[in-house]
Amino acid sequence: MKVLHLLAALLCLLVVSACATAPPCNPLADWHPSPNHEPRRARMIVIHHTAMRSAEGALLVLQTRNSGGRVSAHYLIGEDGRRYQLVAEQERAWHAGPSRWSGIDDINSISIGIELDNDGSEPFSDAQIESLLVLLADLTERLGIQPHLVVGHGDVAPTKKDDPSVHFPWQRLAQAGYGLWPREVRAPVPAGFDAWAALRVVGYDLRDPEAALAAFHRHFRGREEREWLEGDAAILHDLQMQLMELPAQPAILGR
């Protein structure tokens, strides 16, 4: 009997040891590991402004916590263009909070978060934007992120956030190949065009339509009205056409 107890104890130790050297084992299933996996990969990039007075102050918050709890981002870019990395790219940083884009929740799990040292009330420096463009070129190429999937925090969380502010130069980014921007020459808007549907196609969450419209205006028109403006339909029609003209790509959450 003692031998049986000893064998049972040894078997338990072997099972525990196997799980200790591998990812956590679910006791509801037998562990048969496969080598066919990789770390989670980012599929989009979310840009923020820090709403603080200095990069040093932002670094402290991103490494500790703010009044709402712990926060982080993968990168911070100072006003002088210096780049800081805080979280490994294959890890999930806490930068987007409750958010949604193209019908997908939990943007933190599929994105790279980039904070820009800016209080939200002033233009972004040339050195900072040039540094951002260098980083975007690296991330989109190396991680295989589709260049048009560069958005703002306010785009993915329109009811809670407004960063980066109306001062952010989205057109400059688009000229370099990142994010969407309406073209100068646009096809006529067809009769019966549904601007709300197009806003959803672009990616906006319409659970609060006025907030989504304000976010769209902030990004594409440098203002924050919560009602439709003249010219909005032409912009949205062109953005929708650009998306339709993109080469077929895996879904945001695809392999």
Residues with active-site annotation: 115
User: Can you name the residues that pair with 76 across neighbouring β-strands?
Assistant: 84, 115
